[in-house]
């Protein structure tokens, strides 16, 4: 059984964020954001998060830009130029175009946590990615940390 977590950092203090990861025994944070450098990200800013993850919880960090939607796709959704259902289709097609199923060894993601900014996974690409990886490999359990 492969356990794959997801988490969003908004609406969480650093204390809550890192405690959720620690309690779940997460080994690696896999950052799925297009850009991890926003000043609005606070403790989850790309240059700080690897340091905090290691120092606070002894957790590794990887930024996987190939897991992120394109800026254009995200902008079209945020500007309401497409519905969530259309976004889902385009994002999943993008993963296929990028050959994610053949490039990623899902077993190596055991006890990893897919990270993005969205508070809840419902309308977030991290949930779509987790489900995509679940379909690509048998025995994947997804746990959304809230």
Alpha carbons 57 and 78: distance in angstroms, whole number: 33
- What pLDDT was estimated at residue 41? 67
Q: What is the mean pLDDT of residues 62-79?
A: 97
Q: Work out the mean pLDDT of the chain and round it to a whole number.
A: 95
Query: What is the extent of the structural domain holding 27?
Result: 2-145
- What pLDDT was estimated at residue 47? 86
- What pLDDT was estimated at residue 100? 98
Is residue 63 exposed (0-12), middle (13-18) or buried (19+ Cβ within 10 Å)? middle
Q: What is the pTM of this model?
A: 0.95
Overall number of domains in the chain: 1
What's the first-to-final CA gap in the chain, in angstroms? 22
Q: What is the mean pLDDT of residues 8-21?
A: 95
Q: What is the DSSP letter of 69?
A: P
- What pLDDT was estimated at residue 66? 98
Angle in degrees, CA 126, 40, 30, rounded to 5: 30
* Strand bridging mode 140-145 / 60-63: unpaired
- What pLDDT was estimated at residue 42? 84
DSSP 81-97: SS-HHHHHHHHHHHHHH
Q: Which of 30, 136, 128 is nearest to 87 (CA)?
A: 128
Neighbouring C-beta atoms of residue 105, cutoff 10 Å = 8
pLDDT tens digits along 16-68 = 999 999 999 999 999 999 988 876 668 898 889 999 999 999 999 999 999 99
Q: What is the mean pLDDT of residues 117-125?
A: 95
């Amino acid at each position: 059984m492969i356990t794959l977590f997801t988490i969003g950092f908004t609406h969480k203090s650093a204390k809550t964020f890192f405690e959720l990861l620690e309690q779940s025994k997460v080994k690696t944070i896999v950052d799925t954001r297009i850009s991890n450098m926003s000043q609005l990200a606070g403790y989850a800013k790309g240059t700080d998060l690897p340091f905090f993850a290691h120092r606070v919880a002894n957790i590794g960090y990887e930024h996987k830009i190939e897991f992120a939607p394109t800026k254009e796709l995200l902008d079209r959704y945020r500007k309401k130029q497409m519905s969530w259902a259309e976004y889902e289709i385009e994002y999943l097609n993008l993963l296929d175009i990028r050959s994610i199923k053949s490039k990623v060894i899902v077993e190596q993601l055991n006890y990893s946590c897919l990270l993005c900014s969205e508070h809840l996974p419902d309308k977030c690409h991290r949930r779509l990615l987790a489900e995509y990886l679940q379909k690509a490999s048998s025995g994947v359990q997804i746990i959304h940390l809230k």
